[in-house]
Structure 1
Amino acid sequence: MSHHLAKRPSDSAATVASPAAKRARDPSSLAFPTNKEAPELPHKTCIFCDILPPIADDDVDAALDKADIRGVTTTNIEQVLRLSYAHPCAAAAFFHLAGHWHLGHDNHSPYSWNLVIDILGTNRIFTRMWETVDSMHSRWLLSLDTFASVFSSLAASPSCSMLKAFMDDMLHYDMACDTPTLNSLLSALCRANRLDDARAVILVARAEVGTLPDVDSYAILLECARLPPTHVFDEMVRDIGGDPDNVPAYDAFLSTLVSSNYSMALPKATLGVWSCMVENGLPPLEECGNMLVSKLKDDRLPKACKYVEDMVDRGIKLSLSTQSELKLCLQKIKKGDIYDDLLRKWEAH
């Protein structure tokens, strides 16, 4: 059993993006936020942030006792943790002591627990990270958010087995090895530039535990920008099939492709995927075709016209709204005659 982790609202200047999210693809390059970047922090939070950096783990207890700060809240603790990534052991000690002294029975929020997981994992203190996961498990606090952080930390360490984390550790902690979890793992691997591992995970997860990828899985691979889009699309068709029930997946994939940098760099890629859909008879071609023309008309008008011509040749209807948008774009650059030619071809069909 797991509980969904509610995201914390903005804490004004105290809100700093998680270092896990800011981590560079080079795992040795880490950017840690500090209280110096959040000048409007509450006074209690500032005091804690100043206490933790210069002291050893064993001295945290005495330092906090000496500070004698009263009325510490869950929000204070979360703020301190978000700004303590550079001091992981002191942060973990602060977390446990603050929970014991100020919250009663270590009644921390799930968000605070996840921050500790992220702090320890980001700094590759994996033994203590897993001990904290054990503690969360015993309190029924584990969630997919927890493992998203775990996956990111493990993926940034090339020696760690991601398949074990997905299939063994998730089951050990009574977590589902489902498609959202698979996609979380794929995202972590792709951020760490481990595309080969990501592709292997898809195959093994399906074979070993029956976890099926979805369109998001392949959109994640596409955004890694190392595989030709048509190759990724072929893998998607192979894995999830050409059944009409999967049409939303193809539609969403094309949307991702059109809006991605990949389609800017490889303008033929989107047409290749479109051709693959047409050749395999994957409906609804009308919706997909109109979507592509609509998305391409502003920045890549010649490409949009090529799609329209292909749709006309195949007898695929162009919607009135798409016709109107295309006509306006062509008239703006005094190319209305191109639209007239396309319209005549369409009417002839």
Structure 2
Amino acid sequence: MTETHLHLHHHLTRSIAAAMAGAPMNKFKIWVLDDSAIVVSQEEVEEVVKLSYGYPSTAVKFFRWAGYQLNGRHSPYAWNLVVDLLGKNSLFDAMWDAIKSMKKEGILSLATFASVFSSYVIGNRVDEAFMTFEVMDQYGVPRDVVALNSLLSAICREGRTKKANEFLQVGKDKIRPDADTFAILLEGWEREEDIAGARRSFEEMLLEVGWDPRNIPAYDSFLCTLIKGPNGFHEALKFLNTMKERRCAPGIKFFGFALEECMRKLDARGAALLWEAMKIRSDFRPDTHMYNMMISLHCQLGNVDIAGRYLDEMVYDGAFPDYHSYNTLFQSLLKTRKLREASSIFTEMVKNECLPSQANCIAAVRLFLDSGDPCMAIKVWKFMIENYDSNLEETGNFLISGLRDCNRVQEAVKYAEDMIDRRIKLSSSSLTKLKHSLVKAGMASVHDELLKKWKHR
């Protein structure tokens, strides 16, 4: 489809949907479409139905009208959308009429019944979702473990994991659950923060399907649930070691969640154990977000040297420092007055186009001046005026006063003139201090020129 045709396609479907939406309930007249000489394709029918969930009666009228144009050849996807639209609007009798029509066409699929399961559960009619599962094979769709998992997933998504588990206990003698079955239940227990339920399902999983290195989602959810309990972090670490012995492991989801818990509790030891468990694995590496958490954790604890090592190690794992990585470390170096290292990080940040934050720059100018390093203060100031265009006045005036106090009067004058040229307000007190130094150095005329500029700014 060309760009022009794509535009016309979107315009047509939205125009039809808008006309349907604007009509009073049950008052949309199909002859409006007939008179317009509109011709629709299967794809356009799908798009209109997608946009019509708020107008089910009108959508069905349109669907029937479009069926005449298409000689009854609606796509299976369009039929599934209609079933879903009717179910989500609790029009269950009409939904089953559509399903019977699909059966005649031979186009029913598990996707159809997955929609029905979801509609019943959302409508707080879980028992009818169960009954639908029991009869679906009469409609030519196998009642197998994939269908079972679809049903359980619909129930767990709506916070009814206990109900899903009860159904599994009754039905597992006929349909043997697989690894995905337990992953679905464990994700449900995780959402509901039900630690006891998660433990029961995990134990049952080990009995039914055993340890499986591919079952990462189940391990992720189980460990994430455990962490939320009392003494949960240490219990999760214990299970992590057990998994390791069985050649199984969780994925990046658990490690990320566990690191966030360590950050929240300022637990450097726990974070180090997790990090070691991640680093010995060959199937994935820590990403930038994980490195940032470790950098932030150690900066908060005052372990700036350790944070710096994490920053240096990032590239070896294919992760690259970003704005957060650099600014967190830069701020901590300034706070602990490690100014040589701060200078180095600042230079690296600028080189790598990761801008130091304005707050960090303001702190850096002050600290470098206070520590007797005006050159570095000037370097930071130059960066500030090139990259920020507000909140510069206070720092600029502090720089002028600091340069004067360091007996660098000519540089103070230079940057004072630059501030005036840039329309950054030079305070009268800064000008007065400069006057004393310039008069004392026999350079009163320089002050007079500066004053003249200042008055005409």
> For the residues of structure 2 that align with 1:221 and 1:76, how far apart are their CA atoms?
36
Aligned to 1:306: 270
Match of 2:65 among 69, 81, 97: 97
| Structure 1 residues 270 and 77: alpha-carbon distance in aligned structure 2, compared to 1, 3 A threshold | farther
Aligned to 2:390: none
Matches within 5 A, 1:12-161: 41-43=10-12, 45-51=14-20, 54=23, 57=26, 60-65=29-34, 67-100=35-68, 102-103=69-70, 105-159=71-125, 160-161=127-128
Q: In 2, are the aligned partners of 1:297 and 1:329 still within 8 Å (CA)?
A: no
Q: How many residue pairs align between the two structures? A: 291
| Structure 1 residues 58 and 295: alpha-carbon distance in aligned structure 2, compared to 1, 3 A threshold | closer
> For the residues of structure 2 that align with 1:317 and 1:106, how far apart are their CA atoms?
56
- Structure number having the greater helix percentage: 2
Asked whether 1:219 is paired with 2:183, we answer no
Q: Name the amino acid aligned to 1:156.
A: I
Asked whether 1:275 is paired with 2:238, we answer yes
| Structure 1 residues 317 and 120: alpha-carbon distance in aligned structure 2, compared to 1, 3 A threshold | closer
Asked whether 1:255 is paired with 2:220, we answer yes
Structure number, greater radius of gyration: 2
> For the residues of structure 2 that align with 1:207 and 1:217, how far apart are their CA atoms?
19
Q: Name the amino acid aligned to 1:219.
A: L
Identity of aligned residues (%): 23
Aligned to 2:315: none
Where relative contact order (Cα < 8 A, 6+ residues apart) is larger, the structure is: 1
Give the TM-score taking structure 1 as reference length.
0.66
> For the residues of structure 2 that align with 1:247 and 1:62, how far apart are their CA atoms?
60
CA deviation map 1:15-58 (0-9, x unaligned):
xxxxxxxxxxxxxxxxxxxxxxxxx9414541453146535658
Deviation at 1:74? Answer: 2.0
Unaligned runs of 5+ in 1: 1-10, 15-39, 340-349
Give the TM-score taking structure 2 as reference length.
0.52
Q: In 1, are the aligned partners of 2:26 and 2:57 still within 8 Å (CA)?
A: yes
Aligned to 1:184: 150
Q: In 2, are the aligned partners of 1:114 and 1:145 still within 8 Å (CA)?
A: yes
CA deviation map 1:287-307 (0-9, x unaligned):
559996676446625557337
RMSD: 4.2
CA deviation map 1:159-212 (0-9, x unaligned):
44222222x222112223333322322222123332321111221231233344
Secondary structure at the aligned position of 1:86 is classed as: coil
> For the residues of structure 2 that align with 1:69 and 1:304, how far apart are their CA atoms?
70
Deviation at 1:123? Answer: 1.0
| Structure 1 residues 311 and 264: alpha-carbon distance in aligned structure 2, compared to 1, 3 A threshold | closer
Match of 2:132 among 143, 165, 169: 165
> For the residues of structure 1 that align with 2:136 and 2:21, how far apart are their CA atoms?
33
Secondary structure at the aligned position of 2:141 is classed as: coil
| Structure 1 residues 289 and 54: alpha-carbon distance in aligned structure 2, compared to 1, 3 A threshold | closer
Secondary structure at the aligned position of 2:90 is classed as: coil
> For the residues of structure 2 that align with 1:134 and 1:150, how far apart are their CA atoms?
13
Deviation at 1:137? Answer: 2.2
